[in-house]
Amino acid sequence: MKEPIKNIIFDLGGVFLNIDFQLTNQAFIKLGVPHFNEMFTQHFSNPLFELLETGKITEEEFYEAFRQESKMHLTNEQIKTAWNALLLDFPPERIDWLENIGKKYQIFLFSNTNQIHYNHFISNFANQYPGKNFDAFFQKAYYSQNLGLRKPYPESFQAILDEQGLLAEETLFIDDTIKNVESAEKLGLQTIHLKHPLTILDLAL
């Protein structure tokens, strides 16, 4: 018998924030980088992106390394704009749902992201919802570039459980990427794979 859920750890992209990896792929193709999708997808990332997502390299170092990797003379702004193209909107009904679920459970966020994306989607959220702070919806929002760890590595989940003093069996993890869900499951967390076209609005919590 499963333990009652006391805590929920949410993914961000595909859960609260609409994303479309193809838009970034298409943006790089327009810039003359035809094989970007071999470098980065939802399910795979070149070591360069992993370094960025775990805070091991700076934004400037990323742009320079990207130019070397792609063999293209692109400006920082061109790379940034294409890199951010996948980040879309925060649907209002999901933000309302988030506000309500925070009254029932201890809630946390854990996102594989990077400072370039973070600055962009936080700015978008502030424009979309003036006066609201996205991170403030959670007891704590964990971003991989600050944590220094990313999903699906088990130590990333363990770091959050340890810091917050959470029991894995009382904690639910929700993500749209199956390998992240499987990794959390191995640590004893309860999990939901939020597979398209399901959204958090379909969950009975």
How buried is 93 (Cβ within 10 angstroms: 0-12 exposed, 13-18 middle, 19+ buried)? Answer: exposed
Backbone φ, ψ for residue 102 (5° rounding): -70, -15
User: In the structure, what pLDDT confidence band is assigned to residue 36 with cuts at 50, 70 and 90?
Assistant: confident
Tell me if residue 140 falls in helix, strand or coil. strand
Q: What is the pLDDT of residue 45?
A: 66
CA-only gyration radius of the chain, Å: 17
Q: Domain spans of the chain?
A: 7-19+90-202, 21-84
pLDDT band for position 9 (50/70/90)? very high
Q: Which tokens is 109 given?
A: 């966020």
The one-letter code for the residue type at 58 is T
pLDDT in tens, 92-120: 999 999 999 999 999 999 999 999 999 99
- pLDDT at site 115: 98
Over the stretch 141-179, which tens digit does the pLDDT of each residue have?
Answer: 999 999 999 999 999 999 999 999 999 999 999 999 999
Q: What is the mean pLDDT of the chain?
A: 95
Instruction: Look at residue 2 in the predicted model and tell me its pLDDT.
Output: 81
| Architecture label for domain 21-84 | Orthogonal Bundle (1.10)
The pLDDT-based confidence of 137 (bands split at 50, 70, 90) is: very high
pLDDT of residue 41: 64
The end-to-end CA distance of the chain, in Å, is: 17
pLDDT at 43: 62
In this prediction, residues 78-83 reach a mean pLDDT of 98
Catalogue the E-assigned strands of the chain: 7-10, 106-111, 140-143, 171-175, 190-193
- Is the pLDDT at 42 greater than 70? The verdict is no
pLDDT at 44: 59
Whether this model's pTM surpasses 0.85 = yes
Closest Cα partner for 159 from 146, 176, 175, 172?
146
C-beta neighbour count of 180 within 10 angstroms? 24
pLDDT at 1: 63
Average pLDDT over residues 190-201: 95
CATH code, 7-19+90-202:
3.40.50.1000
Instruction: Give residue 101's pLDDT.
Output: 97
